[in-house]
Amino acid sequence: MHALRFARSRGQNPDEAALMTHGARLVHVLARGYAANRRLEGALSLDHFLQRTRVLAFYRTILRGTKRIGDARTKAETRRHVRDEFERHRNVKDITHIRYLLSTGKTEWESMERYIGGM
């Protein structure tokens, strides 16, 4: 509407101004839609995002826990093993499988913590 008033004040044909405004608006909408789709291309679903957050928190918990290992060689070997396991499953996309891996990993870590506590 503002563009039409502006066109009249400049002496332009209001129909041409409306058509130009509509065309400019269409280009703007198409460009925004394209940009939005490109941004969302690699976006995670909410469930994937939450699981990723839990997995990263678990990984950090393990790394903090390995600090209690006294022997430097054992500590390095444990960290390397943990990293290799996480890297091996890095590209898993199935939510059910991710939950299974997280549950299994927590069980293994709890048994490992008991062992570390006994050292």
CA distance 75 to 57: 19
**pLDDT tens for the 119 residues of the chain, in order:** 555 555 566 666 666 655 556 666 666 655 666 555 666 667 778 988 999 999 999 999 999 999 988 889 999 999 999 999 999 999 999 999 999 999 999 999 999 888 877 65
| Measured CA distances, 68 to 11, 50, 108, 113, 119 (Å) | 80, 28, 17, 9, 9
Q: Where are the domains of the chain?
A: 2-40, 46-117
pLDDT for position 97: 95
